Chains A and B, each alone.
Chain A
């Protein structure tokens, strides 16, 4: 099983600041990584697929990078609606998710 480790567990930032979230895979997954945003009581929303491709309708302030074992989701300038939990997911060997990073208001 490929284990995804997300860090930090919690990120405390203010609106307008830059958010950098990390996802590390236990073995190489090429670029087969996706990022999701989840708000309380809602289903996850796909943001990024295959490491760096924005899903339909996702604002340009969200960007993804990385390959192999180390990946990053960057939110260039946090909007009030961006405070949520973010999950990474790999599709190299079946499907597994990371434990999540909560982006909270400082």
Chain B
């Protein structure tokens, strides 16, 4: 069955750029039936949507993060990626990637990666 796996550095310095990749296995990221997204969760807190991408490269971002976020897709590698620039301690969180339930820009996520903890600290 479809699985998602996040990867990337667990420690990022303040003011630098956080970079993560989500690898999709057991299915194709090029399916026209889904969108793919990033969600984060600070320690002990709730969930925050970061942004979504379609296999064509169309992107949709949380307005509160839009100026710092770039999401891209590499269909040849069956991966999509997140870059978050100018990070601060407030960006410390578990970062999840997910798949939308259907081919809707904004949707529930029915499949999630296990999450990866990213700490922003010098």
Contact = CB atoms under 8 A, between A and B. Distances in A.
A83 interface: no
B107 to A, nearest CB: 6
B93 to A, nearest CB: 13
Interface stretch (A10-18, A19-27, A68-76, A95-103): A95-103
A100 B108 CA distance: 16
Contact of B108 (A1, A46, A92, A96): A46
B49 A97 contact: yes
Nearest to A35: B108
B110 A55 contact: yes
B46 interface: yes
A97 B48 contact: yes
Contacts of B104: 91
A80 B13 CA distance: 41
A42 B48 CA distance: 16
Interface in B58-77: 60, 62-64
B43 to A, nearest CB: 12
Interface residues of A, number: 23
A34 B108 contact: yes
Nearest to A56: B110
A95 B115 contact: no
B45 to A, nearest CB: 8
B112 interface: yes
Interface of B: 37, 46-49, 52, 60, 62-64, 96, 101, 104, 106-110, 112-115
Interface of A: 1, 34, 36, 42-46, 49, 55-56, 87, 89, 91-100
19 contacts: A34-B108, A42-B114, A44-B109, A44-B112, A45-B112, A46-B108, A46-B110, A55-B101, A55-B108, A87-B46, A89-B108, A91-B107, A94-B60, A94-B62, A94-B106, A95-B52, A97-B46, A97-B49, A98-B46
Minimum-distance CB pairs A-B, first 10: A34-B108, A43-B112, A95-B49, A91-B106, A97-B47, A49-B108, A46-B110, A99-B46, A100-B46, A95-B106
